[in-house]
Amino acid sequence: MKQDTQILYELSRRLKSPYDELFINSAEFGKLLGVSQQSSSRYLTRLESRGLIERKVTGRGQSIRLTERGVEALRKMHTELENFFRTHAEIQVRGRVVKGLGEGAYYIGKYSERLKDALGFEPYQGTLNLDVKGKFSPERAKTIRIEGFKEGNRCFGDITCIPASISHGKSKVDCWIIIPERSHHRDELELIGKFNFRKKLGLRDGDVVEVSFS
């Protein structure tokens, strides 16, 4: 296992810039790495012999700076992490499939016609519930509003729908996040779509899926 980069990284944390230098003794540098003075010294001589750092060793410590090659090694790591974390236009939330209360199917049935009008298709009569541990915040999302209605003496409130997609493994299908007017489950996300997602994506309780929306 390459550990050179790990040491270069710990060094970089103590430098203000790639051209800065650190004056330190091998015992103190060892503490930064969680190793002994001897190992620290060994690491530093090794990094120097590999052309990743330059040192001026004195009787009172040593000044350490990265060489061009050392900086390049860190820059490569930085670039790859930058790419990994680059925020996509899409907002992504990861959630875990959980059992719904069975209410979903009932309500989708009641709203069926209105959903068909708004979304352009008649949704599968059931919801997929995801545990997202409060990580969902739809502030900036595009939404579609479905107005509430009364049936007899029962009230059915407004619903907000967010077009999204759900992906699991290599599969990705369109879906809609639905948010009842008075949402009580802040930690759960309710999804509807053309299909039974559990069958379509082969989902079981506890599976982790990713929901993307704009």
Partner DNA sequence: ATTACTAGTTCCCGAGTAT
Partner DNA sequence: TATACTCGGGAACTAGTAA
Contact pattern for a copy of itself over residues 174 through 193, marking x by CB under 8 A: --------------------
Contact pattern for a copy of itself over residues 22 through 51, marking x by CB under 8 A: -----------xxx---x------------
The answer to whether residues 26 and 46 touch, using CB atoms and an 8 Å cutoff, is no
Token pair 């595009």 is at which residue? 142
Of all helices (H) and strands (E), which one includes residue 123? none
Kindly state the smallest distance separating residue 23's Cβ from a copy of itself, in Å.
8
The answer to whether residues 195 and 124 touch, using CB atoms and an 8 Å cutoff, is yes
Angstrom CA distances, 102 to 99, 106, 128, stand at 8, 7, 10
**Residues 45-64 close enough to bind DNA by CB under 7 A:** 45, 57, 59-62
- Which stretch, 9-17, 119-127, 153-161, 182-190, contacts a copy of itself (CB under 8 A)? 9-17
Distance CA 20, CA 66 (A): 8
Which of a copy of itself, DNA, none sits in contact with 44, Cβ below 5 to 8 A by type?
DNA
Residue 150, Cβ density class (10 Å: 0-12 exposed, 13-18 middle, ≥19 buried): exposed
Kindly state the smallest distance separating residue 201's Cβ from DNA, in Å.
23
Give alpha helix (H) positions in the chain: 4-12, 26-33, 37-49, 68-85, 103-119, 197-200
Radius of gyration of the chain (CA): 28
Q: Report if residue 84 touches a copy of itself, rule: CB under 8 A.
A: yes
Kindly state the smallest distance separating residue 32's Cβ from DNA, in Å.
13
Kindly state the smallest distance separating residue 191's Cβ from a copy of itself, in Å.
16
Binding residues vs a copy of itself (CB under 8 A): 1-3, 5-7, 9, 12-13, 15, 17-19, 21, 33-35, 39, 54, 63, 65, 74-75, 77-78, 80-82, 84-85, 88, 92, 94, 169, 208, 210
